[in-house]
Amino acid sequence: MRLRGDSRARGTELCGDQPKESLTLMSETRHWDYVIVGAGSAGCVIASRLSEDPNVRVLLIEAGGSDRSPVILAPAATDVYALGRPDWDWCYTAEPDPSRRGRADFWPRGKVLGGCSSINGTIYIRGNAHDFDAWAAEGASGWSYRDVLPYFRRAESNDLGASEFHGADGPLSVQRLRYVHPLTYQFVAAAVESGVPFNADLNGASQHGVGFNQATQRRGWRHNTARAYLDPVRRRGNLTILTRAHATRVVFAGSSAVAVEYDHQGVHRKAEAAREVVLAAGAIGSPHLLMLSGVGPARALEAHGIEVVSDNACVGGNLQEHAGVWLTYRMRVPTLNNETSMLKQVRHSLNWLLFGRGPATTAGAQAVAFLRGDGSQAQPDIQLHFVPVGYKFLPTEVVLYDEPTVSIIPNVCRPRSRGRVYLRSSNPYDAPRIDMPLLDHSEDLSLLIDGCRRVREIMSRPAMAGLVVKESAPGPQVMSESEWETYLRDTVVPCYHPAGTCRIGGGAGSVLDPELRVRGVMGLRVADASIMPRIPSGNTNAAAIMIGEKAADLIRGRRERSAWRN
């Protein structure tokens, strides 16, 4: 089943990838007010909002192609059919991790209109209010929860309705799940039996507790930022969207960013920006492009023969990721693993295509719990995802189990381990080096062990215990602290939430000022998950969309008044 490619885009060019050997010398220069690199979770938002002013010309450059595929639009299809596929994924691989016995993970990042909002699990979790207050306290003035809540609300069209915490008329559809597996209800009940409070709104007044996810979906179809922010405005004459356009360098005149060079349709081109260049290429792509352009650690840039425009040792540093582990249970009742036969896949595909219902609408997790580990923290420090299907991560793909299985994934909310993105070479087509020791800090390991034990406690409660055949992973042989440590170092994986590599802050220890302007240069901003000083407690896509909304106002010189009630 294939959906026809979008043909409504005025000024949008969709074309096949070109081998770099076929590129000609630069033959075209065009002029814009704003040039945005990356049509991802934040970039689509910024392009849409800036082009609301008919007097400015906006160019949005995206290295990937169209999001018009059922593999992208059917939420349940993405994990199995999109991750690790170069049609939609950058297919990065991290360096061997010394904190996990040299394991090297694949790090999917969206290479498609909508970016990671096109290949994620559609889970809508904003993060804890105290996360954003911590940003402000550490020098990111204007980014407290009071400051960012209006932008979360502005983005949303939430089926919970308008309230102090939610918007009802924004571009992004946020809805309750249209399909919930019976075992998800049992998991929530078991968590409550174990003492976890039920939370009807995990993005509301409190994050603590267990509840059912909302998703970035519209009537069961993925509602990424391309569909939410670009589709309604594609016919604007002042907005041009280029796909299959690989940005290679920001061009500077002295210390001012004046253009972006990119490869498109076999031609090396340049787009001049009269006002600003905005990088929204993500936590891996944005620092990579900064360094390729001469902004970064001087010694490292010079080692690759790159002329230094601004020496900033922080570019690429502060890399953060949620470390998680998949605990699986063999069940006595069917799970989504029992729905994978060809006949059932056809039936579920039709149900999704015609009615927006059924298992094909399943989000990456159907329920989430936020827990306090040892009770010493005021805010939750462990997150659990419940998934009514079992699958495992191999180095280059995700594989489903062939027996009825559920997965519960504990992860550390606010990890202390830090990594870095490095240049591999000066060739813009060479992927950067990603060094992320996920278990480098002992507290992260301790919290994960606490999370695993809490999972066992929940699964032993009456609502779930009678439905479990056995704990498949890790199994009852793992009990002691040392046994858990050995198991986790062998099995922990990234949750695909990288952040922090172009952090905002109030001083020299940051890449950006609180207005998202790159320190040491002019006319250049960054707006995506890379700006986060600390990773939020929860999935990062909602926060990246908020960043796009706030970035557009900062660029336009506007300030959103807080809707916070005193």
Place of tokens 């220890």: 509
**Residue 432: cis peptide before it, omega within 30 degrees of 0:** no
Phi, psi of 526 (to 5 degrees): -125, 140
Task: Yes or no: say if 511 and 503 are a contact pair by the CB < 8 Å rule.
Answer: yes
303's CB contacts (< 8 A; 6+ apart) are none
Helix (H) or strand (E) holding 459: helix 442-459
Strands 367-371 and 382-387: antiparallel
d(CA 501, CA 494): 16
Task: Yes or no: say if 521 and 256 are a contact pair by the CB < 8 Å rule.
Answer: yes
Q: Check if 497 is active-site.
A: yes
Phi, psi of 335 (to 5 degrees): -120, -175
Place of tokens 């069209």: 157
The DSSP 8-state label assigned to residue 97 in this structure reads: B
d(CA 206, CA 197): 11
Residue type for position 9: A
Write out the two tokens for 240. Answer: 């041009």
Of 189, 543, 497, 195, nearest in space to 371 by CA? 195
**Residue 395: cis peptide before it, omega within 30 degrees of 0:** no
Q: Would you put residue 195 in left (φ > 0), alpha (ψ -120 to 50) or beta?
A: left
Rg (CA), the chain: 23
Q: Would you put residue 295 in left (φ > 0), alpha (ψ -120 to 50) or beta?
A: beta
d(CA 464, CA 546): 37
CA distances to 94, 311, 322, 420 from 438, rounded to whole Å, are 11, 28, 8, 12
CA distances to 363, 454, 488 from 385, rounded to whole Å, are 11, 12, 17
Q: What is the distance in angstroms between the CA of the first residue and the CA of the last residue of the chain? A: 52
354-360: long-range pairs with CB below 8 Å, 24+:
355/220, 356/178, 356/219, 356/220, 356/221, 357/178, 357/179, 357/220, 358/179, 358/220, 359/76, 359/179, 359/181, 360/74, 360/75, 360/76, 360/77, 360/220
CB neighbours of residue 565 within 10 Å: 5
State whether the Cα torsion 251-254-257-259 is positive or negative: negative
d(CA 133, CA 128): 9
301's CB contacts (< 8 A; 6+ apart) are 291, 294, 307, 308, 423
Which residue in the list 130, 181, 385, 497 is annotated as catalytic?
A: 497
Helix (H) or strand (E) holding 311: strand 310-311
3-state secondary structure of 18: coil
d(CA 536, CA 98): 25
d(CA 422, CA 501): 10
Could you list the active site residues?
A: 497
